[in-house]
């Protein structure tokens, strides 16, 4: 029932199946359950993925690792964690 979710700076290493399993379940639940419904006057925001992937090859690799993500329900910030990223993660704060 969370209205927002972010994954910041986690490369999801192939050897860490336990982390992959947990993140898979969290992301799938977030993006599939109650996605269209309004809760407490709000709707879920896109899943935010923040990392530093400056080249197209690195971005493709990242998206392959996170292949279970519904990219139509996501926001990617692949130029690192910056002040603009905070505005996306916390749009209602000043």
Q: What is the DSSP string of 13-71?
A: -TT-HHHHHHHHHHHHHHHHTTSSS-BTTB-PPPEEEE-B--SHHHHHHHHHHTTTS-G
What phi-psi label fits residue 41: left (phi over 0), alpha (psi between -120 and 50 degrees) or beta?
left
Distance, CA of 32 to CA of 41 (rounded, Å)? 19
* Domain positions in the chain: 6-89
Lowest mean pLDDT among 8-17, 54-63, 80-89: 80-89
What pTM was computed for the model? Answer: 0.84
Span 9-57, pLDDT tens digits: 988 888 888 999 999 999 999 999 999 899 888 899 999 999 999 999 9
pLDDT at 63 over 90: yes
């Amino acid at each position: 029932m969370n209205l927002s979710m972010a994954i910041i700076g986690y490369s999801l290493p192939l050897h860490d199946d336990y982390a992959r399993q947990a993140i898979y379940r969290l992301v799938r639940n977030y993006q599939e359950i109650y996605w269209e419904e309004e809760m407490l006057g709000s709707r879920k925001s896109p899943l935010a993925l923040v990392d530093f992937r400056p080249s197209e090859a690195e971005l493709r690799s990242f998206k392959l690792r996170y292949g279970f993500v519904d990219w139509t329900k996501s926001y990617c910030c692949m130029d690192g964690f910056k002040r603009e990223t905070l505005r996306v993660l916390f749009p209602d704060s000043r």
